[in-house]
Amino acid sequence: MHNEKSNQFLVELQPIGRRIQISGNKSLLEAAQLAGVDITSICGGIGICGGCKIQLIHGELSPYTLEEQDTFTEQDIQNGFRLACQAYPQSDVIINIPPESLTTPQRLQLEGHQTEIPVEPTIRTIPLEIPAPSINDLRADFTRLKDALATTVPALEVEYPLLTTASPIFRDADWNIKAILNSNRLISILPSQTPTIVAGIAVDIGTTKVAAYLVNLENGMTLAQGGIMNPQIAFGEDVISRISYVMSHSEAVETNGMRIMQERIVEGLNKLIQTMLDEVHQKNPDHIEIVDAVIVGNTAMHHLFAGFPVHQLGMAPYVPAVSEATLIPAREIGLQIARGGLVFLPPNIAGYVGADHVAMLLATLFQYKNELAYSNKTVVTLDIGTNTEISLLHNRQIYSCSTASGPAFEGAHIQFGMRAAPGAIERVQISKEGKIHYKTIADQPAVGICGSGILDVIAEMYYANILDEKGAILNHHPRVRKPDRYPEFVLVSEDQTGHNQAVVITRRDVNEIQLAKGAIRAGIEILLKEAGIQVQDIDELIVAGAFGTYIDVRNAMRIGMFPNLPLEKVHQVGNAAGTGARYMLLSQFYRDLANKIAKEVHYVELSNHPKFTEEFSKSLFFPKKDLP
């Protein structure tokens, strides 16, 4: 909020997620520097180098300077581009820092455990030698193609763009072509002579991060992988704020929120695809024809990508517009793959248990030996985020729920919270002697603290008796101070940070983590109850997703977020949703399985569950200190 008296403004730096309060006589470049965010500035802030280009998303800035007028086109100015060194806040503002203006790239989650699965993709490539037309054979171009495919594809359907483009290809290729089909739908035609890699992309669209894989559909190899921040962040950090943005921009065509969201993510993906193609082409000059795409995401990301309405996701009872698996022509949404290509969107389970969770279940709950089978184990699998999706497999039944764990682990609502970017504290230890050890990403001076660091510091404070079991900060530690009467724990002192401010943990921060971990634990407990089993029945706990990969599992148990389990039962599997998406790209069998899972899952709605409030209250406190 804007504080009138002190003429202080809140500057929110996206997509990093860092916020800083500064006075109106500080430029945005200074604000970023104070917040420890490294924006490129070669000329030292005199408006010449153009390196500190940023984009105003919300709020008011000082008028454009002459230097800026020289730098930007009319189009740029319409889009709110500024030089950070020339612009001063005149209200609370949100600004977006494009990747090229950041000196160090952000850390993105890409790796996922890859199991070997057989390559049996939905896509078929069929080489054909078709007789050319002659005075004695006057069949139309597509009739001769259909006749040539008659035995292999009896019910051929042709995607419209093929009808408009194939005739010259047939002739240029002397009627020696490869027909590429998605089931019985013709999606691409290539000259047989041109060396070509037939490829597909698997994408996991997270609310914050997007991970993509370019995969060779003939041998299953991942040719390239890449990641970007979700460009929709500029319109809201979390699902709810993006839905609100759409709801409040529903009228005009040009500024329609739905359309903007949809265009931004597709634009981002198109760029990412191009980057991956360029990378492969540095080693291999063959033409790469991207003929397929599998896109997963939570239900809101799924809808915003596909252009499906999200209003009803923002209002009780929070139902999706579309939950069944959907094939959408890539051209309908502007995704730049083969002109006839079809995008596969796996099913959603519920408004807050999306296709990404289905993909994760595919990658975690099944074992591929000679044939695919449900794991015989009892498995809890979860992906922690603003909403944490949890599933329990027991006796070949799957129980799933979503729990509102809030954005604390993404750095929001935490005073010094930030995303996993350079300068973020990601690991904390407090020794028996009370000495504090911490590690920052890229070993930069501490700027703030990211999810895994917050989890660590709370667990370590509790086990070092700086917190009691209710979450109160106790006074006896030398690093606890009491400004404004409320005790806070100094994790990094002023002189050690990147911005001359101490990084502290407040009672409110602790409380946010209690709410988050309590919600997750309550979700697990409810699912166990639904299946009629106990914690000790769990054979395996699988933690997926970006945050889950970096956390210290023991600390998660120490604060009670996870039940106490032998550490060997816990597996951190990285981007399992991305892995599941790749499986669906490489195997029609996994697409069918996704449909089966989504239909058969026992979805447990927590918001009206009779036991949820009780479990949640119980889970808020910290458990007994019985872990090493």
Single out the residue of 197, 350, 390, 447 in contact with a second copy (rule: CB under 8 A): 350
CB of 320 to a second copy, least distance (A): 4
Q: Is 248 in the site for a second copy (CB under 8 A)?
A: no
Q: Which helix (H) or strand (E) holds 406?
A: none
Chain centre distance of CA 421:
15
Instruction: Select from 345, 341, 306, 339 the least CA-distant residue to 327.
Output: 345
Give one DSSP letter per residue of 519-578, joined into a string.
HHHHHHHHHHHHHT--GGG--EEEEESHHHHHS-HHHHHHTTSS----GGGEEEEE-HHH
Task: State yes or no: residue 78 binds a second copy (CB under 8 A).
Answer: no
Nearer to a second copy, 40 or 312 (CB): 312
- Rounded distance between C-alpha atoms, residue 597 and residue 358, angstroms: 7
Q: With binding defined as CB under 8 A, does residue 91 bind a second copy?
A: no
**Segment near a second copy (CB under 8 A); pick from 234-242, 346-354, 363-371, 566-574:** 346-354
Distance (Å, rounded) from C-alpha 517 to C-alpha 362?
25
Q: Which among 507, 523, 612 is positioned nearest to 562, based on CA atoms?
A: 523
Residue 213, Cβ density class (10 Å: 0-12 exposed, 13-18 middle, ≥19 buried): buried
Nearest approach in angstroms of CB 259 to a second copy is 10
Stretch that binds a second copy, among 73-81, 130-138, 188-196, 464-472 (CB under 8 A): 130-138
Farthest-apart Cα atoms in the chain, separation:
99
Q: What are phi and psi of 557, to 5 degrees?
A: -75, -40
Rounded least distance, CB 403 to a second copy, Å = 16
State phi, psi for 333 to the nearest 5 degrees: -115, 0
| Smallest distance from a second copy to CB 481, Å | 47
Choose which of 55, 65, 113, 142 interacts with a second copy (CB under 8 A): 142
Nearest to 176 by CA among 160, 192, 189: 192
329 binds a second copy (CB under 8 A): yes
**What is the spatial distance between Cα 159 and Cα 288, in angstroms, rounded to a whole number?**
20
HSE-up (13 A, CA, CB side) for residue 597? 35
Cis peptide before 154 (omega within 30 of 0): no
Comparing CB distances to a second copy, the nearer of 143 and 284 is: 143
CA distance 234 to 469: 38
Q: How far apart are CA 194 and CA 191, in angstroms?
A: 6
Q: Candidates 112-120, 290-298, 303-311, 448-456: pick the segment binding a second copy (CB under 8 A).
A: 303-311
Query: Minimum Å distance from CB 25 to a second copy?
Result: 46
Query: Is position 143 an interface residue for a second copy (rule: CB under 8 A)?
Result: yes
**Toward a second copy, which CB reaches closer, 151 or 164?**
164
351 near a second copy (CB under 8 A): yes
C-beta of 208 vs 348, nearer to a second copy: 348
Contact segment (CB under 8 A) with a second copy among 30-38, 67-75, 129-137, 438-446 equals 129-137
What is the distance between the alpha carbons of residues 359 and 321, in angstroms, rounded to a whole number?
A: 19
One-letter amino acid at 519 equals A
Binding residues among 559-618 for a second copy as defined by CB under 8 A: 603, 605, 607-608
Q: Site size for a second copy, by CB under 8 A? A: 44
Which of 68-76, 102-110, 135-143, 540-548 is the region at the interface with a second copy (rule: CB under 8 A)?
135-143
Site membership for a second copy, residue 332 (CB under 8 A): yes
Nearest distance from residue 253's CB to a second copy, in Å?
14
321 binds a second copy (CB under 8 A): yes
* Binding region for a second copy (CB under 8 A) out of 181-189, 209-217, 288-296, 302-310: 302-310
For residues 434 and 120, give the distance between their C-alpha atoms in angstroms, rounded to a whole number.
57
Among 202, 217, 269, 328, binds a second copy (CB under 8 A): 328
Residue 135 binds a second copy (CB under 8 A): yes
CB 350, min distance to a second copy, A: 6
Interacting residue with a second copy among 130, 203, 306, 541 (CB under 8 A): 306
Residue 349: CB partners within 8 Å, gap ≥ 6?
A: 323, 357, 358, 400, 598, 601, 603
Binding of a second copy by 50 (CB under 8 A)? no
| Residues forming the site for a second copy (CB under 8 A) | 133-135, 138-143, 146, 160, 163-168, 171, 306-309, 311-312, 316-324, 326, 328-329, 332, 348, 350-351, 603, 605, 607-608
